[in-house]
């Protein structure tokens, strides 16, 4: 867990923390649509613009589809461009989410994770982000408001690195983080500005002396090679992330990595999860440790590119691994479980595995649920091919 100096911190919602990161980044352009459903991020930011706190030009577009389209245009033009969205809004962007990645535009987008319709819901789960997991965006997941703030700043540098040039989604759990108040230690404006620097303009559309064509028709003779380059760019992101994280640590004292191990040294039973639920898992780990159970947790900070090697490193040889997913993949294994299980195929000593889906549509997850999943693992009651549910009426 991050050590936050309460004296230096402010109690803010995740949305306010992210909006403040955006204020400090001061992108050239922010295009956003406020509904379906949006979050206060854009409202806070609009106020910064209205008050002249930032020089950013804001485009209050008429849909998320246009939000993503406009930031693609702005980023191609040579501007640093951001947007923020959630759930159905992200789904509406879907087509252009792919185009942003394939155009290699380093757009950073905080995503407040909420359930996709239908039925219409609005509360937290990861179905929105999971629907974009193959879109070519880097995906980071925050456990706390502090992380949501930090990762938004860090993401700019990762996205814009010349060997990466990929867009990044910074995921924060809907309501739990976006509307939940936590202490956040903010960096100074100067430090953030220096960290993100000025964006390097790579083939900017507005360079009329050197005209470029963006988005040509790319048929069977080149499309495949371009997709291969995207695969490569993700590999670069994986290589460069530790370096960017190290630079961020220098300015913040806070260390980020692909994953965060929690009490793993001697742990025999490990739980893997994304996002804010990790705080609850850590609480349960502490509780069960007091009772003598050798349990631990592995939080996934970066889901795309998937840090397979880290998964193998931390999970190889454990007695059992329980994976928690806040999204279902209908007709297949849940997304995080599938990825972890696949990574462990190459492990020399494969742990027993269990898949637990929880919290869909904002269903609360409580320590007892997590304890139950741990106890299943401890009691040898896991079936690799069985998807179980926490907190579900059956």
Residues of the shown chain interacting with other proteins in the complex, contacts defined by CB under 8 A: 28-29, 31, 55-57, 59-63, 65-67, 69-79, 81, 95-96, 99, 198, 205-208, 211-219, 221-222
Q: Are 386 and 355 in contact (CB under 8 A)?
A: yes
What are residue 330's phi and psi, to 5 degrees?
-65, 120
Q: Are 272 and 321 in contact (CB under 8 A)?
A: yes
Closer Cβ to other proteins, 29 or 300, answer by number? 29
Closer Cβ to other proteins, 131 or 365, answer by number? 131
Q: DSSP letter at 148?
A: H
CB of 287 to other proteins, least distance (A): 50
| Paired residues of 388 in beta bridges | 356
Question: Distance of CA 206 to CAs 78, 190, 201, Å?
Answer: 7, 28, 10
Kindly report the number of other CB atoms within 10 A of residue 347's CB atom: 16
Closer Cβ to other proteins, 18 or 30, answer by number? 30
Q: Are 113 and 327 in contact (CB under 8 A)?
A: no
CB of 6 to other proteins, least distance (A): 36
What are residue 130's phi and psi, to 5 degrees?
-65, -30
CB proximity list for 125: less than 8 A, separation 6 or greater = 113, 114, 115, 174, 326, 327, 359, 360, 361, 362
Closer Cβ to other proteins, 216 or 292, answer by number? 216
Closer Cβ to other proteins, 79 or 370, answer by number? 79
Q: Are 322 and 354 in contact (CB under 8 A)?
A: yes
Residue 70: in which H helix or E strand, if any? helix 64-77
Closer Cβ to other proteins, 24 or 66, answer by number? 66
Closer Cβ to other proteins, 221 or 394, answer by number? 221
Closer Cβ to other proteins, 32 or 272, answer by number? 32
User: Residue 305: is the preceding peptide bond cis (ω within 30°)?
Assistant: yes
CB of 38 to other proteins, least distance (A): 16
CB of 166 to other proteins, least distance (A): 17
User: Residue 206: is the preceding peptide bond cis (ω within 30°)?
Assistant: no
CB of 46 to other proteins, least distance (A): 14
CB of 74 to other proteins, least distance (A): 4
CB of 110 to other proteins, least distance (A): 18
CB of 80 to other proteins, least distance (A): 9
Number of alpha carbons in the 13 Å side-chain half-sphere of residue 44: 21
Q: How far is CA 245 from the centre of its chain?
A: 15
SS3 (DSSP) at 9: strand
User: Of 141, 142, 108, which is closest to residue 26 (Cα–Cα)?
Assistant: 108
CB of 105 to other proteins, least distance (A): 10
Closer Cβ to other proteins, 204 or 261, answer by number? 204
CB of 56 to other proteins, least distance (A): 7
Give residue for tokens 């401890």: 378
Length of the chain: 394
Closer Cβ to other proteins, 95 or 364, answer by number? 95
User: CA 9, CA 3: separation in Å to the nearest integer?
Assistant: 11
């Amino acid at each position: 867990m991050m050590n936050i100096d309460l004296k230096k911190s402010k109690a803010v919602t995740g949305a306010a923390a992210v909006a403040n990161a955006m204020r400090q980044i001061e992108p050239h352009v922010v295009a956003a649509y406020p509904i379906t459903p949006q979050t206060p991020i854009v409202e806070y930011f609009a106020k910064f613009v209205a008050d002249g706190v930032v020089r950013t030009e804001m485009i209050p577009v008429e849909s998320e589809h246009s939000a993503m389209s406009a930031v693609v245009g702005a980023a191609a033009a040579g501007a640093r461009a951001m947007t923020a969205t959630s759930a159905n809004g992200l789904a509406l962007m879907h087509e252009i989410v792919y185009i942003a990645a394939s155009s290699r535009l380093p757009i950073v987008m905080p995503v407040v994770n909420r359930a996709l319709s239908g039925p219409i819901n609005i509360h937290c789960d990861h179905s929105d982000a999971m629907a974009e997991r193959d879109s070519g965006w880097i995906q980071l997941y925050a456990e706390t408001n502090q992380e949501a703030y930090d990762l938004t700043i860090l993401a700019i540098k990762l996205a814009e690195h010349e060997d990466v040039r990929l867009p990044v989604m910074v995921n924060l759990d809907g309501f739990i983080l976006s509307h939940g108040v936590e202490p956040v230690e903010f960096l100074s404006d100067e430090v953030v500005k220096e960290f993100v620097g000025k964006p390097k303009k790579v083939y900017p559309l507005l360079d009329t002396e050197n005209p470029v064509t963006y988005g040509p028709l790319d048929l069977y003779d080149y499309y495949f090679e371009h997709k291969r380059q995207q695969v490569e760019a993700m590999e670069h992101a994986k290589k460069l992330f530790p370096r960017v994280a190290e630079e961020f640590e220098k300015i913040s004292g806070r260390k980020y990595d692909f994953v965060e191990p929690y009490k793993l040294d001697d742990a025999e039973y490990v739980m893997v999860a994304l996002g804010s639920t990790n705080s609850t898992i850590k609480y349960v780990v502490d509780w069960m440790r007091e009772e003598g159970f050798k349990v631990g947790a592995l939080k996934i900070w970066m889901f795309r590119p998937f840090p397979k090697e880290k998964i193998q490193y931390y999970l190889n040889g454990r007695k059992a691994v329980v994976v928690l997913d806040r999204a279902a993949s209908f007709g297949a294994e849940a997304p995080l479980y599938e990825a972890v299980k696949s990574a462990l195929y190459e492990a020399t000593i494969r742990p027993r595995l269990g898949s637990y889906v929880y919290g869909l549509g904002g269903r609360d997850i409580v320590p007892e649920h997590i304890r139950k999943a741990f106890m299943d693992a401890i009691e040898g009651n896991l079936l690799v091919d069985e998807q179980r549910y926490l907190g579900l009426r059956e």
